[in-house]
Amino acid sequence: MGRKRDTVGARRAIAFGLAGLMVLLVAAGVAAAAGGRSRPATSLVAARGVPSSVLTDVCFTDAAHGWIAGQAGYVLSTSDGGATWTKSRVLPSVNGEMDHVVAIDPDTACAVGASSQVQHPSVVMRTSDGGSSWQTQRKQAGSKAIELDGVDFVDAEHGWACGLGAQSGKGVVLATSDGGATWGRQTTPQSAWLTQICFVDLEHGWASADHSVVRTTDGGATWTKVTVIRGPDKDIEDVYFVDATHGWAVGNSGTISATTDGGATWAAQKSGVKTGLLAVCFTSAQQGWTVGEDSVVLKTADGGATWVNGR
């Protein structure tokens, strides 16, 4: 069975509140280099207008436009590179939680989460006006609900979301080819909760879960499970690819693994920390960052051969 929802957002949070000042990992011109689909972490800056509560994801399309997902059912947006943020109510319930947000273009973003931490109904929300308003694209509750935690789009129409089937207790991937108006379920071999998903084009995608990553080379028509790392407390929390061959996965106990063959095989990298790593982003096959618990920030300039303190 997957992890309880009330622990997922806290473990994957990549921003931390301190004495009313939120220190965020935000982009500074790097998202554009990554094709606008990144969750980049390039510098630590103080962001105005950000409340001191748990934030679960950040995503930029370019140096100016970005979104942050958070608890209490809101999403923040910026058009000035994070100097100021505008808070928009996405969910009517203050008990809601937006787990993940993906920026598609400066005006369009999609977010997934739950509108109640008690009943766990899953929601997919979308904005087409820079975050001023959000529309519900998918909402589900009850024993057959799918709890969604990750989402990614490669263009305005084609996207994927991942999570856990509440009834089956197995990992689930949903796909859309009409901008999220409709979603179809894809079959995966993973029995555990799928926490994050990443696509680089219409064919190549990956999702993280437990010790493994599931991968597809045909847009999700078929998925293959690959074990990334073995051992206790070695769960994979996030996976990120810069192209169809180069990717990284991070997780508990400072775990970092890399692949150069599209995820068919993985090799461990030395992070130098034992802290849980929760998110990873690369802008090229050489330049990347990973962040985690206790405000850990690591960076590499050689594809992960060496990792150093990035703060």
Look up residue 35 and give its two tokens: 């094709």
**Element of type H or E holding 18:** strand 15-18
Alpha-carbon distance 9 to 70, whole Å? 8
290 DSSP β-pair partners: 280, 298
Task: Please report the pLDDT score of residue 35 as a whole number.
Answer: 44
Nearest Cα neighbor of 124 from 162, 179, 165, 180 is 180
Dihedral over alpha carbons 185, 112, 57, 69 (to 10 degrees): 170
Whether residue 113 contacts residue 71, with contact meaning beta carbons closer than 8 Å, is answered with no
> Would you say how long the chain is, in residues?
311
Dihedral over alpha carbons 195, 200, 206, 209 (to 10 degrees): -20
Nearest Cα neighbor of 164 from 154, 173, 176 is 173
CA angle 266–269–271, rounded 5-degree value: 145
Identity (one letter) of the amino acid at 119?
Answer: Q
- 35 contact partners, CB below 8 Å, separation of at least 6: none
pLDDT in tens, the chain (311 residues): 333 333 333 333 333 332 222 334 433 334 434 444 444 333 334 455 555 557 777 788 888 888 888 777 788 888 888 788 888 888 766 567 788 888 889 899 998 887 665 555 678 889 999 888 888 888 776 656 788 888 999 999 999 999 888 777 788 999 999 999 999 999 888 777 898 999 999 999 999 988 899 999 999 999 999 999 887 777 898 999 999 999 999 999 999 999 999 999 999 999 999 989 988 988 899 999 888 888 788 999 999 999 998 77
Give residue for tokens 């009943």: 119
Look up residue 238 and give its two tokens: 């996030």
Three-state secondary-structure class, residue 86: strand
Three-state secondary-structure class, residue 12: helix
As a whole number of Å, the end-to-end CA separation of the chain is: 36
Alpha-carbon distance 183 to 159, whole Å? 9
Nearest Cα neighbor of 209 from 172, 261, 253, 158 is 172
Look up residue 256 and give its two tokens: 């970092």
Identity (one letter) of the amino acid at 274?
Answer: K
Nearest Cα neighbor of 283 from 252, 311, 249, 241 is 241
Domain of residue 240 covers 5-309
Task: Please report the pLDDT score of residue 294 as a whole number.
Answer: 83
Alpha-carbon distance 137 to 193, whole Å? 22
197 DSSP β-pair partners: 207
Task: Please report the pLDDT score of residue 27 as a whole number.
Answer: 38
Q: CATH number, domain at 40?
A: 2.130.10.10
Nearest Cα neighbor of 207 from 193, 118, 309 is 193
CA angle 145–110–286, rounded 5-degree value: 110
Count the domains in the chain: 1
